[in-house]
Structure 1
């Protein structure tokens, strides 16, 4: 935002206008997402890595070797084949060969922020007036808007992001809604105001 001013009427007015201009043009920005150091899952995988995989999608070249078959006698009667932990289940039918696992894109950052761009613009517009009047600082404005934007992203996870979980994931995690199993990812979403 560039502001041009012409000052007439003394040094006091010039100083006040310069203060307003400095508040409005400060070189600060707010970042929304999963910053480095936002935590790790139980297996040591950084939350930011899992978040990036969900945000943009990905592929895993699996070496194979996973057992599959019937976990219980009921599964055998119903013909429900499942992946089996090593040494578990009533009947192993085989072992997977090398294959590619495709993780679909489930944008929990870009899409919710785009969907709420009008709300974000209105918030900035409202708060910019308060900054220009000296009621709050530019940092406070960005901090408030960052918290609001992070909230939009968390809300999107709670309401569900397409595509839904695969049937095998639903059986394992108990939900068709992606990204909510442990809550670690959602809880790690935050904002940072920086120069």
Structure 2
């Protein structure tokens, strides 16, 4: 009996290389500790967490109601997210790279999160906050938090290290 040898076409080899890379990488969207802080030194990752989850007066003694802009950026947009993910399958099959696909997903979700910060329906600011900010719009003061939303592509399980 003759020995049978499987051979990949160049396109098949390319596709398998990209699939292996996708299996090793992940895209993380949100805030990266140490990248931005308030004037008083408070890291924006903490501020984002306090607003996302709310506080019971634990941090600085101030109660902050939950304003789940991160969760809402996923929960309110499931159909759009499914659509972009399905489209990325086609990108991969037509020659796209793993990194380009993850970058597209990162930009898309970053935009959704920034939109939720701007347009989300959240618990209103306290009167003292409105006086200080000059606005009743939660999550928007200087725009620093919204502008600090970002993404990074990294090896799975590598922590905050860019890949």
Specify the TM-score bucket, using the shorter chain as the normaliser. Answer: 0.7 to 0.9
Deviation of 1:16 (Å):
4.0
Please name the residue that 1:44 is paired with. 41
Are residue 174 (structure 1) and residue 134 (structure 2) matched?
yes
Which of 2, 12, 19 in structure 2 is aligned with 1:17? 12
Deviation per residue, 1:162-182 (Å, 9 max, x gap): 111112211221111111111
Structure number with higher relative contact order (C-alpha < 8 Å, ≥ 6 residues apart): 2
Distance 1:32 1:41 in 2: 20
Distance 2:132 2:149 in 1: 25
Q: Contact 2:69/2:120 (CA < 8 Å) preserved in 1?
A: no
Please name the residue that 1:68 is paired with. none
Larger radius of gyration: 1
Count of aligned pairs between the two proteins: 150
Deviation of 1:62 (Å):
8.3
Please name the residue that 1:58 is paired with. 55
Are residue 156 (structure 1) and residue 116 (structure 2) matched?
yes
Are residue 112 (structure 1) and residue 107 (structure 2) matched?
no
Residue ranges of structure 2 left out of the alignment (5+ in a row): 156-163
TM-score by length of 1: 0.69
Which of 33, 36, 40 in structure 1 is aligned with 2:30? 33
Deviation of 1:12 (Å):
3.9
Structure with the bigger percentage of strand:
1
